[in-house]
Structure 1
Amino acid sequence: MSESFEFSRNNELLALYAKNASILVFKIFGVTALTARARFATRKFPSIEDAKALNGSVGTDDKIERRRRAHLNDLENIPSFLCISFLYLLTEPEPEVAKTLFWTYTGARVIHTLVYAVKPVPQPARALSFGVGLGITCYMAGKVLIHFCSPK
């Protein structure tokens, strides 16, 4: 770890990381709420005890499944970004590059949810937003590997 990295509110990039991480965590919870809302609207629930307690049936439909799949996609991608982007901060990146990567990733994940689970849009909208996020995560992972694994 670099001797000059400062863990404080005064570190502009750490504050940026905290903002984006918080937005992404709230987004994950938001998709959970969207899924629950769709379940209540359709009265279709994942288990018999829920269906009985809530006067519904066991089952699903496309609205529920889209939101559930968007949530699973978030759970597969956002934690990797949060881990690698934190390590990326330790490489002392150019601030403007880091800002662009962080905000672009966050925007791409929000767009992914919008075009997949909220207001479905034909492909390639979802694939592009997914690809942007994946590309950013891979770029940062490469930078972290180069920084920490190359000879000093």
Structure 2
Amino acid sequence: MTKLNEIVDMDVMTAYTFHAVILIVKMMLMSPLTGYLRMKNKAFANPEDAATFVKGEAAKKYLRTDPDVERVRRLHRNDLENIIPFLFIAFFYSFTGISETTALIHFRIFTAARLLHTIAYLVPLPQPCRGLGFGVGLLVTFSMIFQLLWNGLNLL
């Protein structure tokens, strides 16, 4: 039976795991931040949530959108659209025999880009900060996709 450490560089897998955990925790923190801002700004999406804070008909006025809440929700959605594909692609990429240095470059740049994107979204920083965070992360993911496809084509 083939052992995992015979088909994958464990240093690359360790690096992947480290960066994946950072990105997943960062993404997961958007949900409690959204909830915090909903309570702070009294902007609820569901009647039962508004009714927890205000009783009766007055609760209806708290069923509204709030710019701060919507900003964090857009950030969270952007994370879901970019981090999840990265996690899958980077996982498969880790099995291609790539050098640890090359893998670390990809993982570190993507992680840094997503952290920049988050800071730029939350602060907010002037453009092109957020756009750079998004674009660089996307380029890193496509770099790994290209290498996966190239290696796959060479195997056929």
TM-score of the aligned structures, taking structure 1 as reference length: 0.90
Letter in structure 2 aligned against 1:76: E
Among candidates 57, 75, 81, match of residue 70 of structure 1: 75
- For structure 2, the residue ranges without an aligned partner over 5 or more in a row are none
Sequence identity, in percent? 36
Deviations 1:76-99 (A, max 9, x none): 111100000011111111211110
Q: How does 1:16-95 map to 2 (within 5 A)?
A: 16-55=15-54, 57-95=62-100
SS of equivalent residue, structure 2 residue 96: coil
SS of equivalent residue, structure 1 residue 45: coil
Aligned to 1:120: 124
Letter in structure 1 aligned against 2:7: F
Deviations 1:113-138 (A, max 9, x none): 11102x10111100000001000000
Shift of 1:6: 3.5
| Structure 2 residue 4 is matched with structure 1 residue 5 | no
- For structure 1, the residue ranges without an aligned partner over 5 or more in a row are none
CA–CA distance in 2 between the matches of 1:30 and 1:14? 24
Structure 1 residues 40 and 79: alpha-carbon distance in aligned structure 2, compared to 1, 3 A threshold: same
Work out whether residues 23 and 83 of structure 2, in 8 Å CA contact, stay in contact via their aligned partners in 1.
yes
TM-score of the aligned structures, taking structure 2 as reference length: 0.88
Aligned to 1:139: 143
Shift of 1:147: 0.8
Deviations 1:41-81 (A, max 9, x none): 10111111211123361112211111000000001111100
Work out whether residues 23 and 111 of structure 2, in 8 Å CA contact, stay in contact via their aligned partners in 1.
yes
| Structure 2 residue 147 is matched with structure 1 residue 148 | no
| Structure 2 residue 109 is matched with structure 1 residue 104 | yes
CA–CA distance in 2 between the matches of 1:82 and 1:151? 23
Structure 1 residues 40 and 3: alpha-carbon distance in aligned structure 2, compared to 1, 3 A threshold: closer
